[in-house]
Amino acid sequence: MPNTKSAERRMRNSARKHLHNQMIIHRLKTLERNFLTAVGSDDKQLASDQLRLVTAAFDKAAKAGVVHKANANRKKSRLATRLNSLK
């Protein structure tokens, strides 16, 4: 338990920020799963639309500091490679 008033405030803030970050990470995973489903159905148009959505979401999350920039770039690169492997 926190001993000072400022430590209590920091605990409340970090709990709120943790919840917000978890929501963003869950959204990223959902968008990535939607993209992989589109790739699995061999629908290149739908997959490219989904890639655009997931790429924008990863960029926004990296900008906010929810995920590391290198992590976001690596995921975007691997997803783009999956899209390009479609015939």
Grouped pLDDT means (10 residues each) for the chain, 87 residues: 94 97 98 96 94 98 97 98 90
How confident is the model at residue 28, as a pLDDT?
98
pLDDT at 39: 96
What is the pTM (predicted TM-score) of this model? 0.88
Residues 58, 76 contacting (CB under 8 angstroms): yes
Domain 5-84 coded CATH 3.40.630.40: no
What is the pLDDT at residue 86?
Answer: 87
pLDDT at 83: 96
The helix, strand and coil proportions of the chain, stated in percent and rounded to the nearest 5, come to 85, 0, 15
**Is-contact 71 61, C-beta < 8 A?**
no
CB 14 within 8 A of CB 20: no
What is the per-residue pLDDT for 1?
86
